[in-house]
Amino acid sequence: MSITRDEVAHLASLSRLDLSDHELDRFAGQLDVIISAVARVQEVAAAGIPPTTHAVEFTNVFRDDVLAGCLGADAALAQAPAAEMGYFKVPKILAED
C-alpha cells in the first residue's frame, strides 16, 4: 500500500477539491496503483545524476524594455463570474470570528 485513503483526503484538501466519499474510495485505489508504478524511477536515478527541468535549457531570457499593449480592464473583467466597480468580486476571504 503506497498511499492511504486518509492521505488522499489530505491531498484533495491541499488541491482544493471537495471530493465525495465515493470519489475518495475510488481515487485511493487508483492512486495506490499509479504511485506504485511510477516509483520505478527510484530504481535507476542514482545519486549524483543532475536533474533536468526543461527539455531545452535557457537562462535569463531578456527583451527590450519598451512599452507594449496589454488587456484593458474591461476585457480582463468581461469573463469574470462577478465584477463590481472595475474589480473582480470574490466571496469572503476571511472566516467569521
Partner 1 sequence: MDAGSDLTRWTAAQMAAAVAAGEVSAVELTEAHLDRIARIDVQVRAFLYVAGDAALAAARAVDARRAAGEPLRPLAGVPLALKDVFTTIDMPTTCGSKILAGWQPPYDATITRRLRAAGVVILGKTNMDEFAMGSSTENSAFGPSHNPWNLSRVPGGSSGGSAAAVAAYLAALGIGTDTGGSIRQPAAVCGLVGVKPTYGGSSRYGLVAFASSLDTPGPLTRTVLDAALLHEAISGHDPCDSTSLHAPVPPVVTAARNADVAGLRVGVVAEFAGDGYASGVLTRFNEAVELLESLGAKVTEVSCPHFDYALPAYYLIAPSECSSNLARFDAMRYGLRLGDDGMASAEQVMSQTRAAGFGAEVKRRIMLGTYALSSGYYDAYYGKAQQVRTLIAGDFAAAFEQVDVLVSPTTPTTAFPIGERADDPMAMYLADLCTIPCNLAGNAALSVPCGLAPEDGLPVGLQIMAPVLADDRVYRVGAAVEGALGQRRGHPLLEEASGVDEADDAGAEAGR
Could you say which DSSP state residue 1 is in? -
73 touches partner 1 (CB under 8 A): no
Please state the closest distance from residue 81 (CB atom) to partner 1, in A.
Answer: 4
Cβ-based nearer residue to partner 1, 6 or 30: 30
Compute the distance between CA of residue 91 and CA of residue 80 in angstroms, rounded to an integer: 13
Please give the residues from 27 up to 66 whose contact with partner 1 meets the rule CB under 8 A: 27, 30-31, 33-35, 37-46, 49-56, 58, 61, 63
Please state the closest distance from residue 2 (CB atom) to partner 1, in A.
Answer: 10
79 is written with which cell numbers?
469573463
Compute the distance between CA of residue 97 and CA of residue 93 in angstroms, rounded to an integer: 13
Cβ-based nearer residue to partner 1, 1 or 93: 93
Return all residues near 92 (Cβ < 8 A) that are at least 6 apart: none
19 touches partner 1 (CB under 8 A): yes
Compute the distance between CA of residue 33 and CA of residue 44 in angstroms, rounded to an integer: 20
The gap between the terminal CA atoms of the chain, to the nearest Å, is 41
Judged by the rule CB under 8 A, the positions of this chain that interact with partner 1 are: 3, 7-8, 11-20, 23, 26-27, 30-31, 33-35, 37-46, 49-56, 58, 61, 63, 71, 75-76, 78-82, 88, 90-95
